[in-house]
Amino acid sequence: MAIAINPPLWLGLLGLSPLVIYIVLVFRGVDILPATVISVLVGALLSHQTILSFGAALADSMGSFLALVGLIIMLGRGLGEVLNATKVSHTIVYRIIHTIGVDTEKKAMLGIMLACLIIVGLLGTMAGGNAIIAPIVLPVAAAVGLSRSTVGVIFQAVGEEALILGPFSPPVITLLGLTKISYGEMLLYVSGPVAIITLLVTWFVIQRIQRSTREITPYENQYQLNRFEPNPRSRRATAAFLCTFLAAVVYGITVKAPTSFVIIIMLGLSFVTGLMGGLKPGEILKLVIRGMAGNVGLFLLFLLLNPFIIFVEKAGGFAALTTLLKPLMEVGGKSMIVITGGFLGAFGISGATVATLKLLHEMFSPLLTGYSVSMLAWSLALVVATRVHNFVFPGANMVSSLGFAESDDMKSMLRNGWIVATCQLTFLTIFSLTFA
């Protein structure tokens, strides 16, 4: 269907209503999938879709970038099942903790941070990664006297940054696909600096949290240290996984492999690790399928997001937003576009990270092109937007981190979150004024 050209401003603003409805529903606690379904239906009505054109839009979405990311996330969940079954994840955490030689509070903090950074970065999921490391690191935390509050803050703060560093994590794959910057550029100028700022700030904050909560939220002596001991099979599987993973990363960076390359890597890692861990091919496939099944709802969400964005565009929503923001952009120029995008995403758009990245990019795409905004600066805005939102609002990542740490101290989580968010937004503003 043809997109309306220069619709009246009020009509274009009405075209933004699916996006507004989506934001309101999610903030009111409605599950993201039903919220997306409702918003897509409203968008279909406003853009005058028929049943046939609606079906065609859903069919086209099967070949979209978001559908590809959804498939990769499902395969990542499947790989996580294999890593768990072969005890590879457990072995990696064990080595991190015992190589450092944990015998003090600060060493325990550092060990848990490294374990979280590596496992969440490898698996591309905070909930999955923290679920794996929690049973192993909680005994360590208890043995040296770390509080539940401290561990909860570590799980969330480090996990959030691991998601923007892992080469195959959904946010990274989406960011690189949207902005076309390289993985090396992203690490050097975007995710790397944001992660360093966050980890440094969190390190100093958790020292204060530990001092104030050591006696208030301690772990009981119910944990036994060294509950897990790697055996020859788990060591062999871990070595195979790490060697294959590093080879895949180097090869992918060297040949500038497209996003679809990750599908082969996920499947390859699952089979190499599973076979070296003593699993049969049929067992590996069952684990992969079981893991993928846990993310079917997320895959459906990604299929719906593509027509959602297209319908808003057809209804003139993004064009109207561009018209409204144009005077502000004329005053502030490129820097204001980047800063506005970062702050809008941080405080105005809620939902899955991949969905937020896609929505923000599509909303600002005309302005980015018209003003020739640096993709590095815009990439930073996208990263900061999604990280800040998770730090300042008690969403799924924050609540799940509390659960894995067996803590209920939301105050400490928000204290660290708001300090981290302030530092990230300050960095975005300075970077935008300098390099946009």
Average pLDDT over residues 273-282: 93
**Average pLDDT score over the chain:** 83
Whether residue 408 is predicted with pLDDT greater than 50 in this model: the reply is yes
- Location of structure tokens 């005994």: 139
Considering the entire predicted model, what is its pTM?
0.69
Question: Tens digits of per-residue pLDDT, 65-106?
Answer: 778 777 877 887 788 788 888 988 778 777 777 777 777 889
Average pLDDT over residues 120-127: 78
Question: Which pLDDT band, with edges at 50, 70 and 90, does 194 fall under?
Answer: very high
Q: Give the count of alpha carbons within 13 A of 187, CB side only.
A: 8
- What is the per-residue pLDDT for 3? 41
One-letter amino acid at 250 equals V
Whether residue 290 is predicted with pLDDT greater than 80 in this model: the reply is yes
Question: Which pLDDT band, with edges at 50, 70 and 90, does 5 fall under?
Answer: very low
Q: Is 87 left (phi over 0), alpha (psi -120 to 50) or beta?
A: left
Q: Which token pair is 66?
A: 């978001």
- Percent pLDDT > 90 in the chain is 27
Question: Which pLDDT band, with edges at 50, 70 and 90, does 145 fall under?
Answer: confident
Q: Is 78 helix (H, G, I), strand (E, B) or coil?
A: helix
State the SS3 of 2-13: CCCCCCCHHHHH
